[in-house]
Amino acid sequence: MIPIVDLKRQYKQTGAEIEKAVVDVLRSGSYILGPNTKALEQEFAQYLGTKHAIGLNSGTDALHLALRALDIGKGDEVITVAFTFVATTESIEIVGATPVFVDIDPDTFNMDVTQIESKITPKTKAIMPVHLYGQPANMEVIMDIAKRYNLYVIEDCCQAIGAEFKGKKVGSFGDIGCYSFFPTKNLGGMGDGGMAVTNSDYLKDRMTALRNHGGAVRYHHDEIGVNSRLDEIQSAILRVKMNYIDEWNKMRREVAHRYTELFKGYEDVQTPKELDDTYCVYHQYTIKVPNRDEVQKMLQENGVGAMLYYPIPLHMQKVHAHLGYKMGDLPKTEYDTQHVMSLPMFAELTFEEQKEIVQKVKDAIEKCKASASC
Ligand SMILES: *Cc1c(COP(=O)(O)O)cnc(C)c1O
């Protein structure tokens, strides 16, 4: 089986360094908000080109505490997409605000920026773009609209560490950028973890307080916060991996470009497009295929870990039923949820494996075309 991601191969490269870093933490006696988290926050902010970074428990917490820090809550609307992982919209609902969906641009899988203005109401407080699959959303247009309508921008960068739009890293455009260190992300820990970045001293102080029970000074609580601290073991592991992230992203891009080359001329597969002036970091390599569900099933049976991100659009999820959307409201999102399929993607994937995967994808599509059951 060629899995969608193989973290064991990465561990072969980094394992010795990571084990040493972890043992150092174990021996140090400092396990929460110690020197490693502090150093990681500095290194992360420097990498992103932002003033601050705040270590948190998860990407989901980064998103929801970002909304809290901006005082977005009940009665407020946040414009976002339905073609993403549920954590994006979950965070909006956690604070009591209402997600408002725009459709996607099918070329990039990201927010169709031409629809944003038509969704702005007096209740709109923020735009929350998602840089899906590591592909940057159009931050130029989004920031321009946000400025004109006086809206906040929270970037969901959970799949896009290191991605760039016009030479600037995503996450550094908006008020707050949110990252996840879930193990399978491009920069993954060995457990849960997350980070928020910002250029604002005020927002940094708010999120720093919110992650630690709502107080800047120990045992002085100014508001209801949460326990969302990044621990020292994760921080130490992530500091090791930070040294490799650019190299790994570059290798992912090479893997992606090899896939695209291998599918060239085969019209039943639509390969992902890269826009000019963007640096896509390919958290996923996602194609569109006919008879998607059958093709994926055949691939799974045939040793290729093809996955569906995401098979049900968020406006059709039970959790958001109260928002009152129906099928047909977001046609491009709905089309893509029925046609996308992500192929194995990780830096260490070999050309030989890719040739096998591509051949099996083509075989599955042809077999499906020839059979009446598809
Ligand atoms: C992974 C992910 C999240 C959530 O991150 P966690 O660390 O798992 O909480 C949010 N948004 C997107 C787009 C993601 O891919």
C-alpha angle 341-342-344 in degrees, rounded to nearest 5: 140
Is the CB–ligand 1 distance for residue 59 below 6 Å? yes
Q: Rounded to the nearest 5°, which phi and psi values hold at 212?
A: -130, 55
What's the pLDDT band for 218 if we cut at 50, 70, 90? confident
Q: Which atom of ligand 1 is nearest to the CA of 180?
A: 7
pLDDT of residue 182: 98
Instruction: Report which protein residue has its CA nearest ligand 1's atom 6.
Output: 59
Q: Note the pLDDT tens digit of each residue in 249-259.
A: 999 999 999 99
Q: Which atom of ligand 1 is nearest to the CA of 63?
A: 10
Tell me what the pLDDT averaged over the chain comes to: 97
What's the pLDDT band for 216 if we cut at 50, 70, 90? confident
Locate the DSSP E strands across the chain.
Answer: 52-56, 77-81, 98-102, 104-105, 110-111, 124-127, 152-156, 164-165, 168-169, 176-180, 194-198, 278-279, 285-288, 340-343
Lowest mean pLDDT among 164-178, 206-220, 297-311: 206-220
For tokens 């949110």, name the residue. Answer: 178
Pick left, alpha or beta for residue 303 (phi over 0 → left; psi -120 to 50 → alpha; otherwise beta): left
Is the CB–ligand 1 distance for residue 187 below 6 Å? no
What's the pLDDT band for 116 if we cut at 50, 70, 90? very high
For residue 284, the SS3 value is coil
Q: Which atom of ligand 1 is nearest to the CA of 193?
A: 7
- Give the mean pLDDT of 83-98: 98
Is the CB–ligand 1 distance for residue 160 below 6 Å? no
Is the CB–ligand 1 distance for residue 47 below 6 Å? no
CA 190: distance to chain centroid?
17
Q: How far separated are the first and last CA of the chain, in Å rounded?
A: 24
With contact defined as beta carbons under 8 Å apart, do 73 and 302 qualify? no
Distance 154 CA to ligand 1 centre (A): 14
Query: 3-class secondary structure for 76-125?
Result: CEEEEECCCCCHHHHHHHHCCCEEEEECEECCCCEECHHHCHHHCCCCEE
What's the pLDDT band for 374 if we cut at 50, 70, 90? confident
CA distance 274 to 252: 14
Q: Note the pLDDT tens digit of each residue in 161-207.
A: 999 999 999 999 999 999 999 999 999 999 999 999 999 999 999 99
- Give the mean pLDDT of 280-308: 97
Question: With pLDDT > 70 as the criterion, what percentage of the chain qualifies?
Answer: 100
What's the pLDDT band for 245 if we cut at 50, 70, 90? very high
Q: Note the pLDDT tens digit of each residue in 318-373.
A: 999 999 999 999 999 999 999 999 999 999 999 999 999 999 999 999 999 998 77
Q: Note the pLDDT tens digit of each residue in 96-115.
A: 999 999 999 999 999 999 99
CA distance 222 to 163: 36
